[in-house]
Amino acid sequence: MQRSQSSSDEEWDWEEHQRQERLSRMSRDQKIKLAAQHQMAAMAKFKEEQARQQALEADTDGLRRQFAIFEARGQKALSAADIPWPPDERVFKVATLRWHPDKWQHVSGSLQLPGSDEEAVLTRVHGICQAVNEEWAAVQQSLG
């Protein structure tokens, strides 16, 4: 007699089942080591992203300083090399994709941060993404 499949049978995930079986066969120490490796990898990725963001912020601050110096020069003769051109659009696109809040919800989940830290991280990421978008809008406006 053939039994009909219920909705729970249809939702059964073979790969997840295999993963769970492998985990159940692992010793407690192996599980802890595996979890620590995943967390270390996530932290390394997070620190790398922080370093990239700090470099982007330093570049933006440098551009502002260069432009202030440029404006203070007055009517002196200039060449095209003297003009502090804004960053290429690709820089902003990369920064926007890197700091998009949706991406960071996934990243913060893999970091397994405590609730208050996760909220703080996502709040700061949202602020960074907003600042990048505002900076790009200012560049677009200045270009007319």
Model pLDDT, residue 144:
64
Residues 39, 49: Cα–Cα separation, whole Å: 15
pLDDT per residue as tens digits for the range 83-107: 777 667 778 888 888 888 888 877 7
**Using 50, 70 and 90 to split pLDDT, how confident is the model at 66?**
confident
pLDDT for 49? 82
What the block records as the tokens of 62 is 């440098």
E-assigned strand segments in the chain:
none
Q: Residue written as tokens 């602020």? A: 127
C-alpha–C-alpha distance, residues 65 and 74, integer Å? 15
> Residue type at 18?
Q
CB 96 within 8 A of CB 136: yes
> Quick one: pLDDT at residue 127?
92
The answer to whether residues 56 and 95 touch, using CB atoms and an 8 Å cutoff, is yes
Give the pLDDT band (50/70/90) at residue 139. confident
CB atoms within 10 A of CB 73: 10
Token reading at 67? 């432009």
Are the C-beta atoms of 107 and 46 separated by less than 8 Å?
A: yes
CA angle 131, 135, 140 (to 5 degrees): 150
Tokens 């505002």 sit at which residue? 134
Region 40-46: what's the mean pLDDT? 83
- φ, ψ of residue 57 to 5 degrees: the values are -65, -40
Q: What is the pTM of this model?
A: 0.41
